[in-house]
Amino acid sequence: MPSEHQPILFTREETTKPIVAIVGCGFGGLQAAMHLVRHDIELVMIDRTNHHLFQPLLYQVSTAALAPSDIASPVRSLVGKHRNVSVIFGDVDGVDVAARKLCVRDTGTIDYDYLVVATGSAYTWFGHDEWAEHAAVLKTLPDALEIRRRVLEAFDWAESRDDKEEITALTTFVVVGAGPTGVELSGSLAELARATLKAEYRHIDPSKARIMLVDAAPRILGEFPEALSAYAKQALEHLGVEVRLNAKCERIDGRGIVIGGERIEAANVFWAAGTRAQPAAQWLGARAAKNNAVEVTEECSVPGHPEIFAIGDVSAFKTADGKTLPALAPVAKQQGAYVAKVIASRLGRRKHPGPFKYTNLGTMAVIGRSHAIALLAGMKLKGRLAWLAWSLVHLLLLIGFRNRLIVFTNWAYAFFTYGRGSRLVVGRPKRVVGGDFLTDPEELLNPAAPQAAE
């Protein structure tokens, strides 16, 4: 808990209206806010970033197909115009449940009457946190830009090398985890290397880059029917992706990865193998599921605390058949809208909506620029038709007409030309991850500089 001398940002003494605090401005938090702004309350939104991110298209930023601004919008531009909304930039590090106070690190405390926790999830390393030093993840815009930098600089560094083994390592990319993120990232990487970059280098051939997708499971996209999973694997292999299944990751270090006893020299390893909820359960003193998510009631509230709600990836909601809802954007959005209705009913503004019931609108995954699989209303789609459905759904889910127009334009341009317009790397060159493959860039740029004393 923060120290007692920290300032109080928002108190009950300042208003006669109920205070609703929302932690996290992702799909669930933003949906809840958009439904609550119409009521006579004080709404306080807290997030560690100033933007709402459309995560399903994050992999396209990491592979230079889209720019960050194409898939993100400032939170203030979405809800800040409402006079009953306060947007606080900060990192929540605790909740005083008894006093109903939210603690924001280095900032202060916020009183609340109702609290909605929508803090999402982070990647888990399955007990090997040391791997995080060498492998990149894909959860935020900085993550996507870092992957983009690593990929583009790997090819640029390889262009100036003369050692074949070094070139091979620099142009080997391993994606760990064959869920939707891993599949989409590896497919997009393959198209970037084999189509966009193919004709732009003179001393290396980017089309010969080794793109690997590995997973300990027996098939990719395990949440889909086996036939669709098999089609996705075939489509990836057609793009040139090497799919390795039943292959457990045993080690990741500065020179590559060990999979099923085999060492693969790779300058870039990308991790998409598993997620774990942010530590909200510890803040609340609530019971947590295996993935650290908060176990909630049929109202999405924390047991014993009907004024506190957990939604989206940070919650573990069990359906009537005992299954836990997946960590998907549609789940978070539906829970956000539902919780807003529950809070409104508590304030006497509407009838109680009853227990939360998730409407499964389907699941999708895209493989490259013209292949996808989809499970919609019991229908199994694959190929171009599934890709068109995926494109339409994602365009409609994007917030703002400008973003939709820009993304559609970029997709159309890429479809006909294989071009990718967001390939700038700003700043001085850095070591490629797994920097053992390269001399320090400072030495390359200034070879006459004296060596620092050890």
Give per-residue pLDDT as tens, 123-182: 999 999 999 999 999 999 999 999 999 999 999 999 999 999 999 999 999 999 999 999
pLDDT score for 415: 63
DSSP one-letter string for 294-358: EE--TTSEETTEEEEEE-GGGEE-B-TTSPBPPS-HHHHHHHHHHHHHHHHHHTTSS----S---
Cα angle 241, 137, 422 (rounded to 5 degrees) comes to: 70
The phi, psi pair for 126, rounded to 5°, reads 55, 45
Q: Above 70 in pLDDT, residue 429? A: no
At 99, the amino acid letter reads A
Continuous H helices in 347-440: 384-397, 401-417
pLDDT score for 101: 94
Q: Which residue has the tokens 């992706």?
A: 241
8 A C-beta contact, residue 301 and residue 169: no
pLDDT score for 322: 87
For 260, residues 6+ apart whose C-beta sits below 8 A from its C-beta are 244, 246, 247, 248, 250
8 A C-beta contact, residue 220 and residue 177: no
Mean confidence (pLDDT) of the chain: 88
Asked if the domains at 8-48+90-123+275-346 and 129-272+362-417 fall in one CATH topology, the answer is yes
Instruction: State the pLDDT confidence band at 1, using cuts at 50, 70 and 90.
Output: very low
End-to-end CA distance of the chain: 41
DSSP one-letter string for 211-231: EEEE-SSSSSSTTS-HHHHHH
Partnered with residue 316 across adjacent β-strands are 295
Both tokens of 286, joined, read 């609530």
Give the CATH number of domain 8-48+90-123+275-346; options: 1.20.58.340, 3.40.50.720, 3.50.50.60, 3.40.50.300: 3.50.50.60
- Catalytic amino acids? 184
The CATH architecture annotation of domain 129-272+362-417 reads: 3-Layer(bba) Sandwich (3.50)
pLDDT score for 279: 86
Q: Closest by alpha carbon to 254, among 132, 435, 440, 441?
A: 435
Give per-residue pLDDT as tens, 193-232: 999 998 899 999 999 999 999 999 999 999 999 999 999 9
Burial readout 127-154 (b: 16 or more C-beta within 10 A, e: otherwise): eeeebeebbbbbbbbebbbbbbbbbbbb
Q: Which residue has the tokens 């989809």?
A: 374
Give per-residue pLDDT as tens, 65-110: 899 999 999 999 999 889 999 999 999 989 999 999 999 988 889 9
8 A C-beta contact, residue 301 and residue 313: no
Continuous H helices in 39-101: 58-62, 75-79
Q: What count of residues does the chain have?
A: 454
Q: Above 90 in pLDDT, residue 439? A: no
Measured CA to CA, the distance from residue 338 to residue 431 in angstroms comes to 47
Domain ranges of the chain: 8-48+90-123+275-346, 129-272+362-417
8 A C-beta contact, residue 334 and residue 359: yes
Lowest mean pLDDT among 26-35, 242-251, 321-330: 321-330
